[in-house]
Amino acid sequence: MKTPAAPGSLAEKLIGTWSLRSREDYNAAGERRPEPSLGSDPVALLYFDRAGNFAAQFMKRDRSSLPAEDAVSALPNNSRARGGYDGYFGTYVVDESTGSVSTLLLAALSPENVGQTYQRQIRVDGDILTLRLSTATTAGEPVTRTLKWQRVG
């Protein structure tokens, strides 16, 4: 059993159910880069429980115009969506000193993501969770992705 999170800690603030408000990718020059597999406005839920389990589900809002091929699987620090959908679950650990969360995927829609660990910078301000990560576009351009979530449970 996981050690309980200290009251007021980042780990304690992270516990809950979160609904995606925005998802944006920017290159080093500050230019926004669209991501086609899920789009810039996917429907998504994210869960973190007290026992150290998490789950994430993402769906492209309009799946009528999907890319001819799914995004390549070799994107750094990122799982792969398939058919405008991505889902995975596993365990997580918060590093209070760095303000980050590491997630270990125990199951995922894309088999190559199972067993992978991904790290995100996190900040919780009241009922708003901000996740930030470095990844790349499907063309290989490095980007910083920022996801903002609203607590719904």
Whether domain 10-151 has CATH 2.40.128.280: the reply is yes
Is the separation of the CB atoms in 35 and 84 below 8 Å?
A: no
**Amino acid, single-letter form, for residue 8:** G
CA–CA separation, 142 vs 135, rounded Å? 6
The arithmetic mean of pLDDT across residues 41-63, rounded, is: 95
Is the separation of the CB atoms in 119 and 137 below 8 Å?
A: no
pTM of the model: 0.89
The pLDDT mean for the chain works out to 90
Could you report the per-residue pLDDT of 54-66, keeping only the tens digit for each?
Answer: 999 999 998 887 6
Could you report the per-residue pLDDT of 82-100, keeping only the tens digit for each?
Answer: 888 999 999 999 999 999 9
